[in-house]
Protein backbone atom coordinates (compact mmCIF):
# COMPACT_ATOMS: atom_id res chain seq x y z
CA UNK A 1 0.00 0.00 0.00
CA UNK A 2 2.79 2.41 0.91
CA UNK A 3 4.54 1.64 -2.38
CA UNK A 4 1.32 2.38 -4.28
CA UNK A 5 0.91 5.71 -2.47
CA UNK A 6 4.57 6.63 -3.07
CA UNK A 7 4.36 5.82 -6.78
CA UNK A 8 1.08 7.71 -7.08
CA UNK A 9 2.73 10.78 -5.55
CA UNK A 10 5.67 10.50 -7.94
CA UNK A 11 3.33 10.19 -10.93
CA UNK A 12 1.30 13.18 -9.77
CA UNK A 13 4.38 15.33 -9.14
CA UNK A 14 6.02 14.49 -12.48
CA UNK A 15 2.76 15.05 -14.35
CA UNK A 16 2.27 18.48 -12.77
CA UNK A 17 5.90 19.41 -13.44
CA UNK A 18 6.35 18.11 -17.00
CA UNK A 19 2.96 16.76 -18.20
CA UNK A 20 4.51 13.54 -19.58
CA UNK A 21 6.83 12.60 -16.71
CA UNK A 22 4.14 10.68 -14.87
CA UNK A 23 3.61 8.42 -17.88
CA UNK A 24 7.37 7.85 -18.11
CA UNK A 25 7.43 6.77 -14.46
CA UNK A 26 4.55 4.35 -15.01
CA UNK A 27 6.50 2.79 -17.86
CA UNK A 28 9.60 2.56 -15.67
CA UNK A 29 7.71 0.55 -13.04
CA UNK A 30 7.80 -2.46 -15.40
CA UNK A 31 11.62 -2.54 -15.25
CA UNK A 32 14.09 -3.48 -12.56
CA UNK A 33 16.35 -0.46 -13.15
CA UNK A 34 13.58 2.05 -12.67
CA UNK A 35 15.65 5.24 -12.78
CA UNK A 36 17.41 4.27 -16.00
CA UNK A 37 14.13 3.14 -17.52
CA UNK A 38 12.46 6.38 -16.46
CA UNK A 39 15.17 8.53 -18.04
CA UNK A 40 15.04 6.57 -21.30
CA UNK A 41 11.24 6.63 -21.39
CA UNK A 42 11.16 10.33 -20.56
CA UNK A 43 13.63 11.21 -23.31
CA UNK A 44 11.69 9.11 -25.80
CA UNK A 45 8.37 10.71 -24.86
CA UNK A 46 9.88 14.20 -24.89
CA UNK A 47 11.24 13.62 -28.39
CA UNK A 48 7.94 12.15 -29.57
CA UNK A 49 6.08 15.17 -28.17
CA UNK A 50 7.80 17.43 -30.71
CA UNK A 51 6.17 15.46 -33.53
CA UNK A 52 2.80 14.87 -31.84
CA UNK A 53 2.19 18.39 -30.46
CA UNK A 54 1.15 19.90 -33.84
CA UNK A 55 -1.90 17.60 -33.72
CA UNK A 56 -2.87 19.55 -30.59
CA UNK A 57 -2.26 22.92 -32.24
CA UNK A 58 1.15 23.55 -30.72
CA UNK A 59 4.75 23.61 -31.88
CA UNK A 60 8.01 23.47 -29.95
CA UNK A 61 10.28 26.47 -29.72
CA UNK A 62 13.80 25.50 -30.78
CA UNK A 63 15.88 24.92 -27.67
CA UNK A 64 19.18 24.98 -29.59
CA UNK A 65 18.61 28.14 -31.62
CA UNK A 66 21.39 30.70 -31.26
CA UNK A 67 19.63 33.46 -33.21
CA UNK A 68 17.64 36.46 -32.08
CA UNK A 69 14.96 34.31 -30.36
CA UNK A 70 16.17 31.84 -27.74
CA UNK A 71 14.78 29.81 -24.85
CA UNK A 72 16.36 31.26 -21.71
CA UNK A 73 17.25 27.95 -20.03
CA UNK A 74 17.55 24.32 -21.05
CA UNK A 75 15.29 23.63 -18.06
CA UNK A 76 12.19 24.88 -19.90
CA UNK A 77 12.88 22.47 -22.74
CA UNK A 78 13.71 19.55 -20.47
CA UNK A 79 10.40 20.08 -18.65
CA UNK A 80 8.38 20.37 -21.90
CA UNK A 81 7.33 23.93 -21.13
CA UNK A 82 8.45 25.37 -24.50
CA UNK A 83 5.32 24.83 -26.64
CA UNK A 84 3.19 27.53 -28.25
CA UNK A 85 0.53 27.89 -30.92
CA UNK A 86 2.03 28.37 -34.42
CA UNK A 87 0.66 31.92 -34.59
CA UNK A 88 2.32 32.79 -31.29
CA UNK A 89 5.61 31.36 -32.54
CA UNK A 90 5.35 33.68 -35.55
CA UNK A 91 4.79 36.63 -33.21
CA UNK A 92 7.84 35.70 -31.16
CA UNK A 93 10.13 35.19 -34.14
CA UNK A 94 9.06 38.42 -35.82
CA UNK A 95 9.34 40.37 -32.57
CA UNK A 96 12.85 39.04 -31.93
CA UNK A 97 13.89 39.84 -35.50
CA UNK A 98 12.54 43.39 -35.17
CA UNK A 99 14.35 43.84 -31.86
CA UNK A 100 17.56 42.70 -33.53
CA UNK A 101 16.94 45.13 -36.37
CA UNK A 102 16.38 48.06 -34.02
CA UNK A 103 19.15 47.04 -31.62
CA UNK A 104 21.66 44.77 -33.42
CA UNK A 105 22.82 41.85 -31.32
CA UNK A 106 19.70 41.77 -29.14
CA UNK A 107 18.58 38.31 -28.03
CA UNK A 108 14.96 37.90 -26.96
CA UNK A 109 14.61 35.20 -24.29
CA UNK A 110 11.57 32.98 -23.78
CA UNK A 111 10.71 31.70 -20.30
CA UNK A 112 7.67 29.50 -19.57
CA UNK A 113 5.34 28.87 -22.50
CA UNK A 114 2.95 25.87 -22.46
CA UNK A 115 2.92 22.08 -22.30
CA UNK A 116 2.61 20.16 -25.59
CA UNK A 117 -0.85 18.61 -25.11
CA UNK A 118 -4.44 19.36 -24.08
CA UNK A 119 -6.10 22.72 -23.58
CA UNK A 120 -6.95 23.41 -19.97
CA UNK A 121 -4.03 21.41 -18.56
CA UNK A 122 -2.43 23.79 -16.03
CA UNK A 123 1.22 24.81 -16.25
CA UNK A 124 1.79 25.61 -12.61
CA UNK A 125 2.36 28.02 -10.98
CA UNK A 126 0.83 30.05 -13.83
CA UNK A 127 -2.90 30.65 -13.87
CA UNK A 128 -3.36 30.85 -17.62
CA UNK A 129 -0.60 29.02 -19.58
CA UNK A 130 -2.92 26.20 -20.61
CA UNK A 131 -3.84 26.57 -24.29
CA UNK A 132 -0.69 27.40 -26.28
CA UNK A 133 -1.62 31.08 -26.60
CA UNK A 134 0.48 32.41 -23.69
CA UNK A 135 4.19 32.89 -23.15
CA UNK A 136 6.55 34.80 -20.86
CA UNK A 137 9.57 36.79 -21.99
CA UNK A 138 12.56 37.76 -19.89
CA UNK A 139 13.45 41.39 -19.39
CA UNK A 140 16.50 42.85 -21.12
CA UNK A 141 19.33 43.86 -18.79
CA UNK A 142 22.47 45.97 -18.85
CA UNK A 143 25.38 46.96 -16.64
CA UNK A 144 27.70 49.93 -16.69
CA UNK A 145 29.32 48.59 -19.88
CA UNK A 146 26.02 48.32 -21.76
CA UNK A 147 23.54 45.67 -22.92
CA UNK A 148 24.09 42.11 -21.66
CA UNK A 149 23.03 39.46 -24.23
CA UNK A 150 21.24 36.43 -22.74
CA UNK A 151 21.56 37.89 -19.26
CA UNK A 152 18.91 37.55 -16.56
CA UNK A 153 19.23 38.51 -12.93
CA UNK A 154 18.04 35.11 -11.68
CA UNK A 155 19.11 31.75 -13.18
CA UNK A 156 15.61 31.04 -14.51
CA UNK A 157 14.54 34.59 -15.38
CA UNK A 158 11.82 34.74 -12.71
CA UNK A 159 11.58 36.13 -9.15
CA UNK A 160 14.15 38.93 -9.54
CA UNK A 161 11.63 41.72 -8.96
CA UNK A 162 12.10 45.35 -9.92
CA UNK A 163 11.13 47.54 -6.97
CA UNK A 164 8.41 50.10 -7.43
CA UNK A 165 5.19 51.40 -5.90
CA UNK A 166 2.12 49.18 -5.81
CA UNK A 167 -1.47 49.49 -4.61
CA UNK A 168 -1.58 45.81 -3.67
CA UNK A 169 -1.95 44.99 0.01
CA UNK A 170 -1.19 41.54 1.47
CA UNK A 171 -4.11 39.18 1.01
CA UNK A 172 -4.88 35.47 0.90
CA UNK A 173 -5.09 33.45 -1.24
CA UNK A 174 -2.55 34.99 -3.60
CA UNK A 175 0.30 34.10 -5.92
CA UNK A 176 1.84 37.53 -5.50
CA UNK A 177 5.04 36.32 -3.87
CA UNK A 178 7.70 38.88 -3.01
CA UNK A 179 10.48 36.46 -2.04
CA UNK A 180 12.27 39.22 -0.18
CA UNK A 181 14.72 36.76 1.37
CA UNK A 182 16.24 35.77 -2.01
CA UNK A 183 16.39 39.19 -3.67
CA UNK A 184 19.95 39.91 -2.40
CA UNK A 185 21.16 36.74 -4.15
CA UNK A 186 20.41 37.94 -7.68
CA UNK A 187 22.86 39.60 -10.04
CA UNK A 188 23.17 43.35 -9.78
CA UNK A 189 21.97 44.22 -13.28
CA UNK A 190 19.83 47.15 -14.37
CA UNK A 191 16.84 47.06 -16.68
CA UNK A 192 17.76 48.03 -20.23
CA UNK A 193 14.97 50.57 -20.45
CA UNK A 194 15.34 51.25 -24.18
CA UNK A 195 15.05 47.58 -25.16
CA UNK A 196 12.26 46.77 -22.70
CA UNK A 197 10.24 49.74 -23.90
CA UNK A 198 10.91 48.79 -27.52
CA UNK A 199 9.73 45.19 -27.15
CA UNK A 200 6.56 46.35 -25.41
CA UNK A 201 5.85 48.82 -28.21
CA UNK A 202 6.41 46.13 -30.84
CA UNK A 203 4.13 43.65 -29.08
CA UNK A 204 1.39 46.17 -28.29
CA UNK A 205 1.38 47.24 -31.93
CA UNK A 206 0.95 43.67 -33.18
CA UNK A 207 -2.71 42.99 -33.96
CA UNK A 208 -2.28 39.31 -33.13
CA UNK A 209 -1.39 40.10 -29.51
CA UNK A 210 -4.43 40.52 -27.29
CA UNK A 211 -2.95 41.17 -23.86
CA UNK A 212 0.40 42.03 -22.29
CA UNK A 213 0.83 41.91 -18.52
CA UNK A 214 3.38 44.18 -16.86
CA UNK A 215 3.45 45.76 -13.42
CA UNK A 216 2.00 49.33 -13.49
CA UNK A 217 5.08 51.01 -12.09
CA UNK A 218 7.11 49.67 -15.03
CA UNK A 219 4.50 50.81 -17.53
CA UNK A 220 4.88 54.28 -16.07
CA UNK A 221 8.68 54.32 -15.86
CA UNK A 222 9.09 52.93 -19.39
CA UNK A 223 6.43 55.30 -20.77
CA UNK A 224 4.73 52.61 -22.86
CA UNK A 225 1.04 52.95 -21.95
CA UNK A 226 -1.26 51.08 -24.35
CA UNK A 227 -4.73 49.50 -23.97
CA UNK A 228 -3.24 46.02 -24.48
CA UNK A 229 -0.70 46.51 -21.67
CA UNK A 230 -2.53 45.70 -18.46
CA UNK A 231 -2.18 44.93 -14.77
CA UNK A 232 -2.64 41.26 -13.89
CA UNK A 233 -4.31 41.95 -10.54
CA UNK A 234 -3.15 41.62 -6.98
CA UNK A 235 -3.87 37.89 -6.61
CA UNK A 236 -1.73 36.82 -9.59
CA UNK A 237 2.06 36.59 -9.65
CA UNK A 238 4.07 39.78 -9.89
CA UNK A 239 4.96 40.93 -13.39
CA UNK A 240 7.92 43.14 -12.66
CA UNK A 241 10.33 40.27 -13.27
CA UNK A 242 9.07 39.24 -16.74
CA UNK A 243 6.65 40.10 -19.56
CA UNK A 244 3.52 37.98 -20.13
CA UNK A 245 1.85 38.07 -23.52
CA UNK A 246 -0.98 36.19 -25.15
CA UNK A 247 -2.80 36.07 -28.45
User: Which one of 56, 75, 103 terminates a domain?
Assistant: 56
Identify each DSSP E strand in the chain by its residue range: 59-60, 69-71, 83-84, 108-110, 134-138, 141-143, 146-147, 190-191, 211-213, 229-230, 242-246
The pLDDT of residue 135: 98
**pTM of the model as a whole:** 0.92
- Expressed as residue numbers, the domain containing 36 is 1-56
Do 134 and 36 belong together in one domain? no
- Give the CATH number for residue 235: 3.30.1380.10
Per-residue pLDDT reduced to its tens digit, 116-161: 999 999 999 888 899 999 999 999 999 999 999 999 999 999 999 9
Q: Which of 1-15, 74-88, 199-213 has the lowest mean pLDDT?
A: 1-15
Do 138 and 231 belong together in one domain? yes
Q: Which of 17-26, 47-56, 94-103, 230-239 has the lowest mean pLDDT?
A: 230-239
Mean pLDDT calculated for residue range 194-206: 97
Confidence of residue 169 (pLDDT cuts 50, 70, 90): confident
The pLDDT of residue 237: 86
Judged against a pLDDT cut of 90, whether residue 230 lies above it is answered with yes
Do 80 and 45 belong together in one domain? no
Mean pLDDT calculated for residue range 99-111: 97
Do 106 and 131 belong together in one domain? yes
Count of C-beta atoms within a 10 Å radius of residue 59: 20
Do 67 and 31 belong together in one domain? no
Do 107 and 44 belong together in one domain? no
Do 203 and 108 belong together in one domain? yes
Confidence of residue 165 (pLDDT cuts 50, 70, 90): confident
Do 109 and 169 belong together in one domain? yes
Task: Sort strands 211-213 and 242-246 into parallel, antiparallel or unpaired.
Answer: antiparallel
User: Which one of 14, 33, 56 terminates a domain?
Assistant: 56
User: Which one of 10, 40, 56 terminates a domain?
Assistant: 56
The pLDDT of residue 109: 98
Percent of the chain predicted with pLDDT > 70: 100
Selection from 181, 85, 177 nearest residue 130 by Cα: 85
Do 16 and 110 belong together in one domain? no
Do 15 and 71 belong together in one domain? no
The pLDDT of residue 156: 95
The answer for residues whose C-beta is within 8 angstroms of residue 140's C-beta and 6 or more apart is 106, 147, 191, 192, 195, 196, 199
Do 132 and 20 belong together in one domain? no
The pLDDT of residue 155: 95
Task: Sort strands 69-71 and 108-110 into parallel, antiparallel or unpaired.
Answer: parallel
Do 38 and 66 belong together in one domain? no
Selection from 56, 155, 163 nearest residue 115 by Cα: 56
Residue 120: C-alpha distances to residues 23, 85, 111 (Å): 18, 14, 20
Number of domains composing the chain = 2
Mean pLDDT calculated for residue range 18-45: 96
The pLDDT of residue 170: 79
Mean pLDDT of the residues in the chain? 94
Amino acid sequence: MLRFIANSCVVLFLTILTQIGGLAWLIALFFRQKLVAFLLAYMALTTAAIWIAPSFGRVALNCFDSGSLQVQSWMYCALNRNYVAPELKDVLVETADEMDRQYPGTQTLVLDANFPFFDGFPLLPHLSHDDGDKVDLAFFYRNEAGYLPRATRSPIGYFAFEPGPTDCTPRWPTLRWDFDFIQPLWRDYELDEARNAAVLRILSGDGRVGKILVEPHLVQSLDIAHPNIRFQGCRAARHDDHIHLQL
